[in-house]
Chains A and B, each alone.
Chain A
Amino acid sequence: MNTHLALEFSLPQILDRLLVLDAAELDRLEFGVIGIDADTVVRDYNALEAKMAGLSKERVIGHPLFTVVAPCMNNFMVAQRLEDAAAAGVALDLTLDYVLTLRMRPVKVQLRLLAGPGAARRFVLVNRKL
């Protein structure tokens, strides 16, 4: 019932667990979740991420992540890794330190890049560092 509450940012094999959550369940997670489809269009954008970025879901969902929503990730450190994994058809689960420009403030975060070879969704998880 409340299994999603047990989901932590660093939980192993988190991709399978995220794939079955609906929007309301994603909203209750305590880290930011951005889900993109095969064309890098944003399909999931949870409440915490919306709050951190200062953007409502309506402005984000349906738009390409790397050009419209988060250009700051459009480099070889993030976008290229997701692209490479998709091109090679392999799974990706990589956590890296990064800086996001949440409401124009440089904020240190951990990003977790998740992709499965056959999964329709890929995720960027955002954990705000204290």
Chain B
Amino acid sequence: MCVDAEGDLAQEHEALIQFVYMAPAGLVQARSDGEIVMINPVAAQLMMPLSRDGSLSNLFTALQDIAPDLRSRLAAFSSPQGMICDGVHLPAPGGTKGEQRLFSLTLIKLDDSRVMAMLQDVTWQAQRERLLRLQEAWLHAIFTGVTDYALISLDARGCVAEWNDSIGRVTGHGDDVVGRSLAVFYPEDAITPERVLDRLHEAELTGWSLDDGWRLRADGTRFWGSAMIAPQRALARDNPFAAALAADADAAETGYCLIVRDMSGYRETTETARHAAVCDHLTGIGNRRAFFDAAETEMGRWRRLPRPLSVLMIDVDQFKKINDTHGHPVGDAVLRHIASLMGASFREIDRVARIGGEEFAVLLPGSDLTSAHRVAERLRAALESQPAPTEAGPVHCTASIGIAVMDEATASVDALLKRADVALYAAKHGGRNKVCGPSMLLAEPG
């Protein structure tokens, strides 16, 4: 009898083990210092490619590159137990071929000594959701109050084809705007001639191209707006207003519809949602996901039509020492200081992001090595001369910067970043507080 009971228990135990082995989500139980006590296979599958030292002994260490703030978030969580984060999206390398993935992380404090984490790969779900959101935005843009719109007919090159009242109402331009590129509605540093063509091309490919951001009125003032470009034929099918526009346009010439919508009133709500998804929690600049999304898009544009494209990798010098000397809050203030200098140093079209603990990256569309080097050097010098204001007083910090320039031999975003990383390493190796690019590597072998 006793043997049978024990046998049942063993069977049950084995079934339970297999249940957790096969659970389609990563589960980890750790001590409050991050030491992993229990971990199931899916968690290991997702975390092994992230682990720098090939071990999975500490949860916070294993996730440091994609979620550098877990340790401090747990420390800052004062309740005896509860949800620290719920399904936070984290961009991560780690697909079957090492391509960019999106993980979802939930972290729960069980008590003072234990936490539980759930990790899932949600790459496909996120892509589906994004497409849905885009469609929603498109419908929203078409069917909501028409008085906020300028409906603008563009020719095949993206220049304003004719004037109407709505253009005057929303942008303040008179009929002298006819014949000028749609770039006239953007602030100077927010668009390039190449980007205008990219948007037309994307509209042609997918049926529309939609972007939110600052727009420019004729008097030089800005307003927050969305701009949607669609080929006239595609729009005419679905929308009576566009059909009217298309009917007026010269049928022999393929053109586009541009709808510029003044969204001043909506900015706060749309921006808050956008901010949470694409911005780094600590510094407010772009996060890793936003950077990789933008880099993939830019890479696609480059392949279609090669043009200068550079990337900067920026690493704070001796950051560990700053943390060790002054503590994490001061380290955080230093990171925020750097982010704010970066925000001020680059154009609006550039993508500025924090992609790791003390690692930043900037994507510079339209910039060749010379201009990338110029802005990198400007940032380096600004950092050197302006100490970070912190609770411990001004803290002097510097950064090393590596530059890579896109070329035919570069097959992926990862490959481009790796080359920037090599240049960054050379800058570190050369004594830190330096900017290094590919030609400098050739000039200084070893």
Residues of chain A touching chain B, judged by Cβ–Cβ distance below 8 Å, are 53-56, 59, 68-77, 79-80, 83, 97-101, 103-106, 108
Q: Is the CB of B45 within 8 A of A71?
A: yes
Q: Which B residue's beta carbon lies closest to that of A80?
A: B96
Tell me whether A75 and B55 are in contact (CB under 8 A): no
Which single member of B14, B48, B51, B56 contacts A55 (CB below 8 Å)?
A: B14
> Which A residues are in CB contact (< 8 Å) with B14?
54-56, 59
* A105–B55 CA distance with the chains assembled, in angstroms: 12
For B15, the closest partner residue in chain A by CB is: A59
Query: Which B residues contact A (CB, under 8 angstroms)?
Result: 13-14, 17-18, 20-22, 36-46, 48-49, 51, 54-57, 94-98
A106/B44 in contact, CB under 8 A: yes
Query: Which 6 A-B residue pairings sit nearest by Cβ, starting from the closest?
Result: A72-B41, A72-B44, A104-B38, A106-B56, A71-B41, A99-B56
Q: Which residues of B contact A73 (CB under 8 A)?
A: 41, 45
**In the complex, what residues of A have CB within 8 A of residue B41's CB?**
70-73, 100-101
What total count of A-B pairs have CB within 8 Å?
A: 83
Q: Other than A99-B51, A100-B41, give 8 A-B pairs with Cβ distance below 8 A.
A: A59-B18, A73-B41, A75-B48, A75-B95, A76-B94, A77-B48, A98-B54, A99-B44
CA distance A100 to B56 in the complex (A): 9
Hey, which chain A residues are within 8 Å of B56, CB to CB? 99, 106
Beta-carbon nearest neighbor of A98 in chain B: B48
Residue of B18, B38, B94 with highest tally of chain A CB at under 10 A: B18
Q: Complex Cα distance A54/B13, Å?
A: 9
Per the bound structure, the CA–CA distance linking A98 and B55 in Å amounts to 7
Does A104 contact B39, Cβ atoms closer than 8 Å? yes
Chain B, Cβ-Cβ closest to A108: B55
B219 CB → nearest A CB, Å: 55
Q: Could you say which of A53, A69, A76, A101 has the most chain B C-beta atoms within 10 Å of its C-beta?
A: A101
Asked if A76 and B40 sit within 8 Å, CB to CB, the answer is no
Asked if A77 contacts B49 (CB within 8 A), the reply is yes
Contact B48 A72 (CB under 8 A): yes
Q: Kindly state the separation between the CA atoms of A105 and B56 in the bound complex, as whole angstroms.
A: 10
State A104–B43 Cα separation when bound (angstroms).
10
Would you give the shortest CB distance from A71 to chain B, in whole angstroms?
Answer: 4
Assuming the A-B contacts A80-B97, A106-B57, are A75 and B49 also in contact, with contact meaning beta carbons closer than 8 angstroms in the complex? yes
Contacts of A55 in B (CB 8 A): 14, 17-18, 21
Within 8 Å by CB of A103, from B17, B44, B49, B97, lies B17
Once A56-B14, A80-B97 are accepted as A-B contacts, the answer to whether A74 and B45 lie under 8 Å apart by CB is yes
Q: Which residues of A contact B43 (CB under 8 A)?
A: 72, 101
Q: Which residues of A contact B48 (CB under 8 A)?
A: 72, 75, 77, 98-99
Set of chain B residues within 8 Å of A75, measured between Cβ atoms: 45-46, 48-49, 94-96
8 Å CB contact of A71 from B42, B51, B94: B42
Cβ contact within 8 Å between A76 and B57 = no
Would you call A106 and B36 a contact (CB within 8 A)? yes
The reply to whether B96 and A76 contact each other, CB–CB distance below 8 Å, is yes
